[in-house]
């Protein structure tokens, strides 16, 4: 895992703890599954295949294609597929990553993003 993503993981864990506390939850009662962090493996794979953070810059990344990918990976999970042919990762991780990418773009810069 790259140093950048290690830093992101640390920040994500800290942010989750703060968000949970601020929401009034009992942090000691909430389990933060470490498996959620496996989504970052998809980001690492994509950074090597395409470019680091290219999706944030909108390179070959539009909402229509993104939602097609989400549905495609969801279909793979539904049909019982457990390993992506290219990355070797579970298709659910790819779908989750794509959803988080879409949310990130919406949250950071373009709340009226066109779907096509």
pTM: 0.71
Higher pLDDT, 49 or 8: 49
Backbone angles phi, psi at 109, to 5 degrees: -145, -20
pLDDT tops 80 at residue 27: no
Q: Within its chain, how far is the Cα of 114 from the centroid?
A: 20
Separation of alpha carbons 23 and 40, rounded Å = 25
By the 8 A CB rule, do 94 and 69 touch? yes
The answer to whether the beta carbons of residues 43 and 97 sit under 8 Å apart is: yes
pLDDT score at 71? 96
Confidence at residue 99, expressed as pLDDT on a 0 to 100 scale: 94
Average pLDDT value for residue range 4-17: 66
Indicate if the pLDDT at residue 23 is higher than 80: no
């Amino acid at each position: 895992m790259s140093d950048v993503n290690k830093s992101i993981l640390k920040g994500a864990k800290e942010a989750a703890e703060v968000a949970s506390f601020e929401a009034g939850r009992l942090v000691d009662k909430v389990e933060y599954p470490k498996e959620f962090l496996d989504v970052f493996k998809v980001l690492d794979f994509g950074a090597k295949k395409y470019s680091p953070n290219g999706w944030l810059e909108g390179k070959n990344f539009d909402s229509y294609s993104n939602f097609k990918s989400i549905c495609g990976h969801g279909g793979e999970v539904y049909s019982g597929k457990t390993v992506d042919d290219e990355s070797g990762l579970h298709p659910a991780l790819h779908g989750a990553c794509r959803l988080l990418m879409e949310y990130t773009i919406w949250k950071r810069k373009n709340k009226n993003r066109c779907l096509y």
